[in-house]
Amino acid sequence: MKEADFRDNDTLELFKHSGGNILFTTIDAIMDWGRANSLWPLTFATSCCAIEMMAAAAPRHDFSRFGMEVYRASPRQADMIVVAGTIVNKMAPVLKRLYDQMPDPKYVIAMGACAVSGGPFFYNSYHVVRGVDHIIPVDVYVPGCPVRPEALLYGVMQLQRKIKLETLTNPRKTENLQ
Partner 1 sequence: MKEVINPPVRNIEDEEYHINIGPQHPSTHGVLRMVVSIQGETVKSLKPHCGYIHRGIEKMCEKDTYQQIIHLTDRMDYLSAHINNHVVCLLVERALEVAVPERVQYIRTIVDELTRIASHQLWWGCFGMDMGGQTCLLYGMRDREKIMDIFEESFGSRLLHSYYTPGGLMGDIHPNFQKRVKEFITYFRKKIHDYDNILTGNVIMQERTKGVGILTKEEAIDYGVTGPIGRASGFSCDVRKYHPYGVYDKVDFKEILGTQGDTFSRYMMRMHEMRESMKILEQLIDNIPAGDYSAKMKAVIKLPAGEYYQRVEAARGELGVYVVSDGNKTPYRMKFRSSSFSNLSALDHMSRGFKIADLIAIGGSLDYVIPDIDR
Residue type at 96 in one-letter notation:
K
Q: Does residue 46 belong to the site contacting partner 1 (CB under 8 A)?
A: yes
Name which of residues 20 to 39 contact partner 1 (CB under 8 A): none
Q: If we measure between CA atoms, which residue out of 121, 113, 117 comes closest to residue 131?
A: 117
Tell me how far apart the alpha carbons of residues 93 and 67 are, in angstroms, rounded to a whole number: 29
DSSP H helical ranges for 81-129: 92-101, 112-117
Q: What is the dihedral of CA 25, 27, 29, 33, to 10 degrees?
A: -170
Q: Does residue 152 belong to the site contacting partner 1 (CB under 8 A)?
A: no
Binding track, positions 96-135, relative to partner 1; x by CB under 8 A: --x---------------------xx-xxxxxx-------
Return residues touching partner 1 (CB under 8 A). 42-48, 50-52, 54-55, 57-60, 71, 73, 75, 85-86, 88, 90-91, 94, 98, 120-121, 123-128, 145-146, 148
